[in-house]
């Protein structure tokens, strides 16, 4: 029984200068890959789903599967909603048994983000669930916003954490979602300034393709959760493409077809988990 909330793993990681990997899964195989990698590394992990999947008609089945995997694990596992866009999604995730949620109001004006996040936090905490908030939007790579990424200010971050009661806070320090077209300017000094005034675990979004040395430096400055989606899902996809080419149209049962891509994802995830836990 190792299903946990953020409060069972993230404050400890922050204190030790480590981070827990939070990986966006999309199906059984990607979830299985995360679990095998975390067990092999003997590190806590966060299984998370992007909010788009909350409109899948069988999201409760996906939630039950993740919970079951967490409960059987020998390492602590949190089941988390990534970028919850509405209060309804937060509620649905909690109804589906998630142990943690994110409410992302980072595109709202600061005061409104604060108010809505505070309501979501009260609701989550009443249900024994932890919550992540976000300020200073982390944009999508290749979009106009990613060209000039607005950074959060330390004062804003401190006020937001104190007034919303969130358990973890995502702040923009120069990363973007997806792959980068050019090397990102990650503000490590800025991460230091935020971590000096915000005591709760900080969250790095846009971990894919961020130079490892920068990620390690940020982890040592209070960022105890690192989100990765694109990088490991792409590893899975490319290996699947190889397998399909090898099969050349011949039938192979899907469970067998998925073995090599799952294995490739496990190897990639183990490298990341190892780096995050030994920065
Ligand atoms: Zn994100």
User: Is the separation of the CB atoms in 38 and 75 below 8 Å?
Assistant: yes
Could you read off the pLDDT of 141-151 as tens digits, one per residue? 666 555 555 56
Q: What is the number of residues in the chain?
A: 279
User: Is the separation of the CB atoms in 225 and 20 below 8 Å?
Assistant: yes
Q: In terms of C-beta distances under 8 Å and separation of at least 24 residues, what long-range contacts does 61-69 make, across chains too?
A: 62/96, 63/93, 63/96, 63/97, 63/98, 64/96, 64/97, 65/28, 65/31, 66/25, 66/31, 66/98, 67/3, 67/97, 67/99, 69/31, 69/32, 69/35
Residue 70 above 90 pLDDT?
Answer: yes
Q: What is the mean pLDDT of the chain?
A: 92
**178 Cα to the center of ligand 1, angstroms:** 9
Residue 139 above 80 pLDDT?
Answer: no
Measured CA to CA, the distance from residue 207 to residue 19 in angstroms comes to 12
CATH architecture of the domain 6-277 equals: Alpha-Beta Barrel (3.20)
**227 Cα to the center of ligand 1, angstroms:** 7
**207 Cα to the center of ligand 1, angstroms:** 9
Q: Which residues are catalytic, by number?
A: 82
Domains of the chain, by residue range, sit at: 6-277
Cα atoms in the 13 Å half-sphere on the side-chain side of 234: 8
User: Is the separation of the CB atoms in 82 and 22 below 8 Å?
Assistant: yes
**205 Cα to the center of ligand 1, angstroms:** 4
**202 Cα to the center of ligand 1, angstroms:** 13
Token readout for 237 is 């996809």
Could you read off the pLDDT of 251-275 as tens digits, one per residue? 999 999 999 999 999 999 999 999 9
pTM of the prediction?
0.94
């Amino acid at each position: 029984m190792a299903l946990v909330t953020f409060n069972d793993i993230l404050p400890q990681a922050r204190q030790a200068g480590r981070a827990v990997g939070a990986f966006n899964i999309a199906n059984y195989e990607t979830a299985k890959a995360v679990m095998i990698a975390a067990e092999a590394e003997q590190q806590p992990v966060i299984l998370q789903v992007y909010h788009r999947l909350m409109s899948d008609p069988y999201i409760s089945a996906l939630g039950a599967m993740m919970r079951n995997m967490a409960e059987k694990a020998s390492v602590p596992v949190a089941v988390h909603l990534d970028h919850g866009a509405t209060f309804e999604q937060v509620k649905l995730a909690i109804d589906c048994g998630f142990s943690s949620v994110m409410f992302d109001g980072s595109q709202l004006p600061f005061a409104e983000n604060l108010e809505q996040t505070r309501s979501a936090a009260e609701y989550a905490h009443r249900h024994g669930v932890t919550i992540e908030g976000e300020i200073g939007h982390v944009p999508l790579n290749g979009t106009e916003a990613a060209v000039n990424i607005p950074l959060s200010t330390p004062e804003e971050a401190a006020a937001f954490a104190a007034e919303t009661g969130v358990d973890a806070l995502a702040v923009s320090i120069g990363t973007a979602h997806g792959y980068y077209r050019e090397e990102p300017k990650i503000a490590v000094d800025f991460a230091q300034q935020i971590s000096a005034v915000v005591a709760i675990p900080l969250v790095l979004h846009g971990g894919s393709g961020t130079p490892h040395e920068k990620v390690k430096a940020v982890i040592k400055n209070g960022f105890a959760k690192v989100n990765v989606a694109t990088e490991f899902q792409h590893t899975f996809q490319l290996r699947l493409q190889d397998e399909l080419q090898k099969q050349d149209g011949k039938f192979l049962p899907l469970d067998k077809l998925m073995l090599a891509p799952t294995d490739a994802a496990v190897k990639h995830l183990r490298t990341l988990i190892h780096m995050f836990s030994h920065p």
